Amino acid sequence: MALKIPISLSPARRTRDGVKRNRLAALTFSSLGQSDFRHLWLGMLLLMAAVNIQMLARGYLTWELTKSPIAVVVVGAGFAPPILLLSLYGGALADRYARKRIIQLGQLGMLGITLFIAVSISTNTVTVYHLFGAAVTQGTIWAFLMPARQAIVTQLVDEDHLSNAVALNASGMSLMTLAAPGVGGLIYGLSGAATTYYVMSGLIVGAYIFMEFVPRLDPVARGRRRMWRDIGQGIAYTRQNRTVLMLLLVALSTALLAMPFRSLLPVQIERVFKMEVEALGLLMSMIGVGSLIGSLAIAGLSKANHRGWVLLITSMISGFAILLAAVTTSYAVALGIMVLLGLGDSGRRALNSSLIMEQTDEEYRGRVMGVYMMNFGLIPLGAIPLGYVAHWFDVRMAFAIAGGLLVVAALGYTVLTDRVRRL
């Protein structure tokens, strides 16, 4: 019998492999080496933790108060109309005024919302109308805060680190999508809705403190013209930049179809799986697992890595994941499907916005981000019809419609245009 001798890597080979891994890690997290961006990123982590806990708490509290899928999607999409109406104005402000100050004012507004709902719950006066009003107010704030927060990244890092910084922003959001709903579900289940909202308030205070360490930078375009003229120029620029326009259409399809899917998860938890809020938290956290993995992978991509194809493929993955969610009746299987959905989400969160900013001139980035935010204002166009389908038929039928349409849209972008494929 031949003697099998174990083969081990030579010290030189192990050293080379270790150097490669270190280089990959350095590339993936390179933007965090710049302290200004690092403070912005840490503040974003806390704010997005609050937002993700709020998505879970508000959706589940609405379901507890009404037992209506329509009410769940209407409250869940309540933030959208103000975003649709005001994002262009918010984008123009982000180019005219100090973006740091806009972000901090938005954080204070978010703090006011969470404290108001917390007190309403504590005094047993909360109604579904309070929750809907809070969603509308949040959307109003988001219309100004988000274009400024996206555009300020370009002032804190150089052009070579821009794609990495945007991807790390998305990775941080994904990390909070992973961690925050699970923690929020536990807090909600153990201590109730009021405590959950007070925890959100503390997280927003922490985000404001980190933002204090970010320098106040000069506006990129001072207000020399009427605001509506600035907005008009931004719209004209977006229409003429065909690559940016196609990327915005890709974002629109996921906003219309993938985001409403999430708002119906509380209905799936109770009607399909016969479970409660803690199970919802874990389910939403699994989306974060996949999104974090995907976002970190995207952070390590270079311009030579066919990023347009990656974006299109991740959109298809989201669609197929929603289709799978429509047919499963197993909670354990659904957890795995949510990881797959998160992988698809990473393209929208990390890659789409970074490609848009790369393809946009600096003086227009705030306004283009305002147009980008308008996509989220169109969520009710997808959410409300799906809510009615879930109400009159079945939540799984609503999932099947959303997933099927998203797959068709992604295939259409892939086949009918090469602008995204060439990126």
Residue 16 lies in a domain: no
- Mean pLDDT (whole number) for 307-324: 87
Q: What is the DSSP letter of 6?
A: P
CA distance 122 to 116: 10
Lowest mean pLDDT among 58-62, 111-115, 161-165: 161-165
- Mean pLDDT (whole number) for 160-166: 73
- Mean pLDDT (whole number) for 49-64: 88
User: How far lies 69's CA from each of 93, 111, 287, 365, in Å?
Assistant: 36, 28, 21, 37
Lowest mean pLDDT among 55-64, 75-84, 129-138: 75-84
CATH classification at residue 168: 1.20.1250.20
Q: What are the tens digits of pLDDT across the range 364-421?
A: 777 787 888 777 777 767 777 888 888 888 888 888 988 898 889 888 888 877 777 7
pLDDT surpassing 60 at residue 22: no
Q: Which structural domain, as residue segments, surrounds residue 198?
A: 32-213+227-416
Q: What average pLDDT is seen over the chain?
A: 81
Closest CA to 43 of 215, 207, 174, 171: 207
Quote the pLDDT of residue 8.
53
Task: List, in order, residues 6 or more apart from 78 with CB less than 8 Å away.
Answer: 131, 132, 133, 134, 135, 136, 139
pLDDT surpassing 80 at residue 16: no
Q: Which residue has the tokens 């038929």?
A: 393
Residue 90 lies in a domain: yes
User: How far lies 395's CA from each of 268, 337, 401, in Å?
Assistant: 6, 16, 10
Residue 280 lies in a domain: yes
Residue 189 lies in a domain: yes
- Mean pLDDT (whole number) for 26-40: 76
Q: What are the tens digits of pLDDT across the range 167-176?
A: 777 777 767 7
**Cβ neighbour number for residue 108 with a 10 Å cutoff:** 12
* Strands (E) located in 23-168: none
pLDDT surpassing 70 at residue 203: yes
Quote the pLDDT of residue 127.
92
pLDDT surpassing 50 at residue 1: no
Quote the pLDDT of residue 247.
86
Q: Which amino acid is at 66?
A: T
Q: What is the DSSP letter of 97?
A: S
Query: Percent of the chain, pLDDT > 70?
Result: 88
Residue 22 lies in a domain: no
Q: What are the tens digits of pLDDT across the range 343-363?
A: 887 776 667 877 887 788 877
Residue 103 lies in a domain: yes
pLDDT surpassing 80 at residue 188: yes
Quote the pLDDT of residue 304.
65
Quote the pLDDT of residue 129.
93
Quote the pLDDT of residue 266.
82
Cα three-residue angle 38-40-45, rounded to 5 degrees: 95
- Mean pLDDT (whole number) for 76-85: 83
Query: What's the structural domain count of the chain?
Result: 1
CA distance 418 to 263: 33
pLDDT surpassing 60 at residue 24: no
Compute CA 301 distance to the chain's CA centroid, rounded to the nearest angstrom.
20
Residue 341 lies in a domain: yes
Q: What are the tens digits of pLDDT across the range 217-227?
A: 777 665 556 77
CA distance 404 to 414: 16
Confidence of residue 269 (pLDDT cuts 50, 70, 90): confident
pLDDT surpassing 90 at residue 75: no
Quote the pLDDT of residue 136.
92
Q: Which residue has the tokens 């969610």?
A: 325
Residue 268 lies in a domain: yes
Confidence of residue 262 (pLDDT cuts 50, 70, 90): confident
Lowest mean pLDDT among 63-72, 147-156, 300-309, 360-369: 300-309
